Amino acid sequence: MRKATAAGSGLVLRLYIAGEAPNSLSAIANVNAICEAHFPTGYNIEIVDMLQQPLRALANGIIVTPTLLRLAPTPVRRLIGNLSDAAQVLLTLVNK
């Protein structure tokens, strides 16, 4: 599990990946870039590797990687893919 943190607004994300697969690495880079650009002082990203914690992923209903969950603010939102469509990711992160 790896974390990138900044104090602030309460945007809490969890990104499920599968090791160092290309889509996983792209998703990490993309979500970090989006958060730095749009939430520079207010986000927390928890990265969960399904290869290391498969039961945790399954318990959370994750069967495809990469999957990004917006845990806060509620309601929970889910995005699947490498998060390369920055406009769609941002729309999901800011919409209630």
Report pLDDT for 22. 96
Report pLDDT for 68. 97
Report pLDDT for 9. 52
Q: Going residue by residue through the chain, which has 96 residues, state the pLDDT in tens, using 9 for 90 and above.
A: 334 444 445 899 999 999 999 999 999 999 999 999 999 878 999 999 999 999 999 998 999 999 999 999 999 999 999 999 999 999 999 987
Q: Domain boundaries in the chain?
A: 2-94
Element of type H or E holding 49: strand 43-49
**Over the Cα atoms of the chain, what is R_g?**
12
CATH code that applies to domain 2-94 = 3.40.30.10
> Is 50 in contact with 18 (CB distance < 8 Å)?
yes
The whole-angstrom separation of Cα 30 and Cα 90 is 11
